[in-house]
Amino acid sequence: MIKSKLPNTPTSIFAVMSQLASEQNAINLSQGFPGFNCDRELISLVDRNMAMGKNQYAPMPGIIELREIISQKTQELYGKYYNPDTEITITSGATQALYTAITSVINEGDEVIVFEPVYDSYIPAIKLNGGTPIYLQLKGDNYKIDWKEVEKSITPRTKMIVINSPHNPTGSLLSEADLKHLEKIVKGSNIIILSDEVYEHIVFDNETHESVVKYPALAERSFVVSSFGKTFHTTGWKMGYCIAPQELMTEFRKVHQFIVYAVNTPIQYALAEYLQHKDKYLQLGKFYQEKRDFFVNQIRDSRFKIIKSEGTYFQLLDYSDISDMNDVKFSRKLTIENKIASIPVSVFYHDAIDKKVLRFCFAKDNDVLEQAASKLRAL
């Protein structure tokens, strides 16, 4: 018999709820993907590059044109230059980048601090590499980090701290004060930061995305992961990238080359040209804030308690005034009986803490959000 390396890991909740939504013909606000197509110009650019014959292997780190425009974009937004030759790698989506970063530096017995509710790909990657996840909970209704708790959790075996802002599933943001706390905690240590910033352009209410790139003492020890799929409504293309100082990126590429080697060539060429139009991503926060506000206004008179989303395209709703049922059962009931699918937030905790909160994706056309809200108001 095969001994499982992940014996207690079930099928992803996203796959489970999306399948249930399909079976029940329910509105699917569970899995985090846009319900609309990407810009036709981007599709045309991909078509053109395919027709031009750019269909063979790209260089292992990605085409230089795309790495150069990412370097330029990063410097303009966050004030730091990354060498496109040695410090930027194009990946097959953000999940691959996260896995590769963890695999490249985590060894047997290393401790990795994560914050719950935690995105579901981090823990399996840590465990598959022999690491030990150290679980800390985000605090309060606004899901913030208790930095004193973080400081107390540091041990000689702490190898990495994983942060995620804007945060999935809660929609919370890390502030300048948060990053300065982190900077102070890791000063003088060998702790590596893995910063998941895939929703960097989806920030609301005139707030600013605080990338670790803006903080030199953090940037020098950080892998930063970004996603083209989240930014350009193309999650199915599985395109992302990782930036890191050369020492870390060298180790990253050693692993990357044996996981995917290189990623989709014509899409890389298309993105390299498309990224020259800054308005294509700088207006994204405004676009999704309008979606958030539309959805929230539609359910304002419901019995759900609205937990403010500061970023991402997710909205948390507290149903404690509606039912005492645990969130997994309640989300199934909503899908089967009310024909609207969501994600129970307890699945993002290692010990399934149930706060009677569900996550809804509002990256959908307004008519879909209106239909969904009507169902929620009826509860």
Are 141 and 307 spatial neighbours (Cβ–Cβ below 8 Å)? yes
What pairing do the DSSP bridges indicate for beta strands 357-361 and 314-318?
antiparallel
**Residues 343, 18: Cα–Cα separation, whole Å:** 10
Write down the mean pLDDT value for the chain.
97
Condensed to tens digits (0 to 9), the pLDDT of residues 230-247 reads 999 999 999 999 999 999
Condensed to tens digits (0 to 9), the pLDDT of residues 35-84 reads 999 999 999 999 999 999 999 999 999 999 999 999 999 999 999 999 99
Structure token pair of residue 76 = 């303009």
**How close are the terminal C-alpha atoms of the chain, in Å?**
48
**Residues 201, 297: Cα–Cα separation, whole Å:** 23
Q: Is the pLDDT of residue 354 over 90?
A: yes
- Region 319-335 average pLDDT: 97
Q: What is the DSSP string of 234-263?
A: -GGG--EEEE--HHHHHHHHHHHHHHTSS-
Sheet holding 192-196, edge to edge: 88-91, 240-243, 222-227, 192-196, 158-164, 111-116, 132-137
| Residues facing 183 on adjacent strands | none
Q: Is the pLDDT of residue 11 over 90?
A: no
Residue 2's pLDDT is: 86
**How large is the angle between the packed helices 93-105 and 246-259, nearest 10 degrees?**
110
Q: Is the pLDDT of residue 13 over 90?
A: no
Q: Helix, strand, or coil here: 265? A: helix
Q: Which helix (H) or strand (E) holds 136?
A: strand 132-137
Domains of the chain: 13-31+283-377 (3.90.1150.10), 40-280 (3.40.640.10)
What pairing do the DSSP bridges indicate for beta strands 88-91 and 192-196?
unpaired
- Region 124-152 average pLDDT: 97
φ and ψ at 235, to 5 degrees? -60, -30
Residue 260's pLDDT is: 97
Are 116 and 138 spatial neighbours (Cβ–Cβ below 8 Å)? yes
**Residues 312, 15: Cα–Cα separation, whole Å:** 20
**Residues 164, 115: Cα–Cα separation, whole Å:** 9
pLDDT band at residue 9 using 50, 70 and 90 as cut-offs: confident
Residue 1's pLDDT is: 78
Q: Is the pLDDT of residue 14 over 90?
A: no
- Region 135-155 average pLDDT: 97
How many CA atoms does the CB half-sphere of 9 hold within 13 Å?
14
Question: Buried b vs exposed e over 349-377: b needs ≥16 C-beta within 10 Å?
Answer: eeeeebebbbbbbbbbeeebbebbbebbe
Q: What is the DSSP string of 167-202?
A: -TTT-----HHHHHHHHHHHTTS--EEEEE-TTTT-
- Region 323-346 average pLDDT: 97
DSSP code for 285: H
Residue 370's pLDDT is: 97
Condensed to tens digits (0 to 9), the pLDDT of residues 264-274 reads 999 999 999 99
Q: Which helix (H) or strand (E) holds 24?
A: helix 13-24
Sheet holding 305-307, edge to edge: 305-307, 314-318, 357-361, 343-344
**Residues 156, 191: Cα–Cα separation, whole Å:** 10
Condensed to tens digits (0 to 9), the pLDDT of residues 77-135 reads 999 999 999 999 999 999 999 999 999 999 999 999 999 999 999 999 999 999 999 99
